Amino acid sequence: MRKKDDLPECDVATTVSIIGNKWKLLIIRNLISRPWRFNELQRDLKGISQKVLTDSLRSMEADGIITRTVYPEVPPRVEYALNELGESLCPVIDEMKKWGLMYKKLAG
């Protein structure tokens, strides 16, 4: 998790710095429903490269909003899930979904 001194002064800018790119938002959208494996995410997120997905997941783990669980199996199984802090983003994502729906209706 980032230290307070490393975060922007503006609270909105802080949120944007944590979740403010297309891929992170879509990863969070998926993880709201259940834990996902890397390859599942990559297949579902059309257009995301392996590098961008890896970097996004590592960043989100470092920021303390997801957990990475490695299961001791052969081959190893790794799952990504929202943790308690990450789950607190659910209302934000829900409001973004509502706003997108409203915008689509207005756009006709």
**CATH number reported for the structural domain that contains residue 48 in this entry:** 1.10.10.10
* Predicted confidence (pLDDT) at residue 10 exceeds the cutoff of 90: yes
Q: Kindly indicate the confidence band of residue 18, based on its pLDDT and cuts at 50, 70 and 90.
A: very high
- Reported as a single tens digit per residue, the pLDDT across 58-107 is 999 999 999 999 999 998 899 999 999 999 999 999 999 999 999 999 99
* Predicted confidence (pLDDT) at residue 108 exceeds the cutoff of 80: no
Two tokens, residue 41: 């995410």
The mean pLDDT value for 49-62 works out to 97
The mean pLDDT value for 38-57 works out to 97
For tokens 């938002």, what's the residue? 25
Two tokens, residue 31: 């993880």
CA distance 61 to 83: 10
CA distance 30 to 48: 14
Number of domains composing the chain:
1
Supply the range of the domain harboring residue 81.
4-107
CA atoms within 13 A on the CB side of 67: 11
Q: Decide: helix, strand or coil at residue 16.
A: helix
The pLDDT of residue 2: 84
Q: Decide: helix, strand or coil at residue 72.
A: coil
Mean of the per-residue pLDDT values of the chain: 95
